Amino acid sequence: MGDLCALAKVARQVLERVVSRVCGACERNCCHQGTMMGIQDLRRVVRGLRVDAELAERLRTGLKEKAFELEADVAAARQVLSLVKSSGLGDERAHCLAEARIADLEDLAKMLAAETPLDYPHLQRLLLHTALRHNLLRAFRSFPMGEGALARFGGPASSFKFRGSRLAPPRCIFHSLTLGCMAGKWKPAKCANFFCTADPSLLDAIREHMDFDDFVLANFEPATMDWILANLKAQAELGPSYHEPMVIVGMGKAQAEELRDRLEAAAVETRMSPHPSVPFPPRVVEKVAAGVPAGTAELIRFRKLSGTDIYDLAIGLDRVRLRDAQRMLVFIAETLEVPSSPPHALWLENTIAQPVGYLECYVLASGATQENRGQ
């Protein structure tokens, strides 16, 4: 599978270049509109932390950077509140409320600055950021010119900035000015699936530079057998709410059997489905997922999968995800069929999101070419 790994690498580079050129220039950067991460998305990040050696460092660096921003917001709010009090504006109740809202945001800033464990209970607090900041703004709106004063005293590090006549929404708590998305490849579905409503649109730019098969291939990462095994073991250890499906191409019958045997040796109950002759439409994917017991890994082998087949899998699996009923499903194919004829309808119809970005797609690679680095 060396050729497919090399082709996937080139396709990934092309896609990354388009994304960094277009997303850097767009005027409605989606990472600047509040936090897109939800509870289920956060579980994906936590699983990523088990298998992606660089993710923890990336998160730590990014969260420290965010701590500076929150500290600047807290400092601005304290300064404004002190002026409000000394000017005799507002009553004691309003002052106490503003004080409490500042303290809430300050707690979060302290957590970000500290070496907090990067586990689900701690990281879950990050999801509160938008609400805490919103509550603080609401408390300050009760003072004349309160919001404007926050922006004036905010300084360059603060998130309190005007956009037009209103304060801009905060950047996503996972957005770092130096790293981009701290979650890297473990970002939420909405972000990973190239959801874009900007003009010019990211997807239009992608279509200009890539055909359907190149785009699908760009979503494949080279991954070793050891890494795939570690990923599945992490899912099993973390429990059913952390299960996610994956697609592996370049894996023949003998290697699929090796994967099954090694999973079983690691005490993960594993089933190998009979070899289906035709790839699954989305409704069949949903049915298959419903028949797999939570906690069991189901390996489903195909001789080949095309980009269109992978789109259908992604659509069906996304429906399963939205019902919070994911299973440890592993779709294995010996080869990736190119070209897909025709490309999937969602690609041809220019829809504003493409489903394949969120699906974990791997090309089986030798140990030396492992590339899962959280990018």
Cβ neighbours of residue 81 closer than 8 Å, sequence gap 6 or more? 95, 98, 99, 102, 140
- Please count the residues of the chain: 375
Supply the DSSP symbol for 219: T
> How many CB atoms within 10 Å of residue 356?
25
Closest contact distance (angstroms) between CB of 126 and ligand SF4 is 10
Q: Is 350 within 8 Å of 215 (Cβ atoms)?
A: no
Q: Cβ closer to ligand SF4: 181 or 299?
A: 181
Closest among 48, 16, 53, 6 to 360, alpha carbons compared: 48
Least CB distance from residue 105 to ligand SF4, whole Å? 19
Q: In whole angstroms, how close is the CB of 19 to ligand SF4 at the nearest point?
A: 7
Least distance (Å) between residue 210 CB and ligand SF4: 15
Handedness of CA 321, 302, 361, 225 (dihedral sign): positive
**Least distance (Å) from ligand SF4 to the CB of residue 29?**
4
Query: At closest approach, how far in Å is the CB of 196 from ligand SF4?
Result: 3
**CB of 221 closer than 8 Å to CB of 52:** no
Which tokens in the block code for residue 2? 């060396």
| 3-class state of residue 24 by DSSP | helix
DSSP SS3 for 52 = coil
**CB of residue 1 to ligand SF4, shortest distance in Å:** 29
Q: Which residues contact 121 (CB under 8 A, 6 or more apart)?
A: none
Contact residues for ligand SF4, defined by CB under 6 A: 22-23, 26, 28-31, 36-37, 172, 174-175, 181, 183, 187-188, 191, 196, 198, 202
Residue closer to ligand SF4 (CB basis): 7 or 202: 202
Please identify, using beta-carbon distances, which residue of 26 and 325 lies nearer to ligand SF4.
Answer: 26
42 or 365: whose CB is closer to ligand SF4?
A: 42
SS3 category, 304: strand
Closest to ligand SF4 by CB, 27 or 349: 27
How far is Cα 362 from Cα 333, in angstroms, rounded to an integer? 11
Q: What angle do CA 57, 58, 64 make, to 5 degrees?
A: 90
Q: Which is nearer to ligand SF4, 181 or 225 (CB)?
A: 181
If we measure between CA atoms, which residue out of 22, 11, 8 comes closest to residue 199? 22
Measured from the CB atom, the residue of 38 and 144 that comes closer to ligand SF4 is 38
294: Cα separation from own chain's centroid: 23
Closest to ligand SF4 by CB, 140 or 174: 174
* Shortest CB 173 distance to ligand SF4, Å: 7
